[in-house]
Amino acid sequence: MVNILVPTDFSELSRIAAQYAIRIANKLDGNVTLLHAIEMQDTVRSTIARKNNSRHILRTAKENFETFLQEVDKHVKAKTAVRCRISRAGSFNEIVKKNSKRLRTGLIVMGTKGAGGLKKAILGSNTTTVIDNSHVPVLAVPEKAHFKAFRNVIYATDLKHIERELEILIPYVERFGSIVHVLHVMKNGRDITSVEERIEKAVTNTGYKNIVTIVTVDTDIDGAIQQYIDVSKADLLAMFTHQTTFYEKLFDRSITRKMAFHSTIPLLAFKQ
């Protein structure tokens, strides 16, 4: 059973993320917890005024949760009751980290917004901040995404830690019977045979049968990934954020303007 945490600000984008999380939980017999984070700023001098303000914020959040759950329920029915949490203290990222640890969370689901997906800010900067700091995998769900049970999953790799990353990724996708497309983009074609051999060895060692490997040569990394996503009709893109150079290229604002695929398929990010 997987425990899924969904930070929410009660927006439409949060509703889409919550529905997506519930569909995953229904598939895996998991649980979903919606988390509303309140970043309390100590700007009120009077203790009484501060308490009254806190009560008002909590009461409003509870009311918003009721409306939010009713709206989510119109679109998807959860097999198990969806839990709701309101948490205060510290920054948004600290609140998410604290609650994910307390709830033994196996997956955090958040929404992405904007043409080209990450072309603009993601939930402000919250999703990118959580991806960058959370040791729990984060699933970033675009506003146009539709859950398809992850039939085709692209794992884009720079090969530095491919063995360990496949070991981490496969338990997340094998329960869906996913076909994992191991994709490596080379800037030039030198040593392509040895690269293919290394990937095949890593894949064989996993023992997982539903894996295909692709090595392509292209100086435009994100363009090559986008093209393969279109060809393979992928349902999910997976990557690991400890690959600093690769990660920074994908998330650089000037490059992501071209990455329209982020507006249609989710990104599963692991931090190692």
Domain ranges of the chain: 3-142, 152-261
- CATH superfamily to which 152-261 belongs: HUPs (3.40.50.620)
pTM for the whole thing? 0.84
Q: Is the pLDDT score of 21 beyond 60?
A: yes
Cα distances (Å, whole numbers) of residue 60 to 9, 63, 90, 119, 251: 12, 5, 20, 32, 35
Q: Is the pLDDT of residue 269 over 80?
A: yes
147 pLDDT band, cuts 50/70/90, is confident
Q: What percent of the chain has pLDDT over 90?
A: 50
* Residue that wins the pLDDT comparison between 180 and 59: 180
pLDDT digits (tens, 9 = 90+) for 95-109: 999 999 999 999 999
List, edge to edge, every strand of the sheet that includes 152-156: 83-88, 31-38, 3-7, 107-112, 138-142, 267-270, 236-240, 152-156, 179-186, 211-217
Q: What per-residue confidence (pLDDT) applies to 41?
A: 57
Q: CATH fold of 3-142, please?
A: Rossmann fold (3.40.50)
pLDDT given for residue 19 in this prediction: 95
CA distance 238 to 229: 12
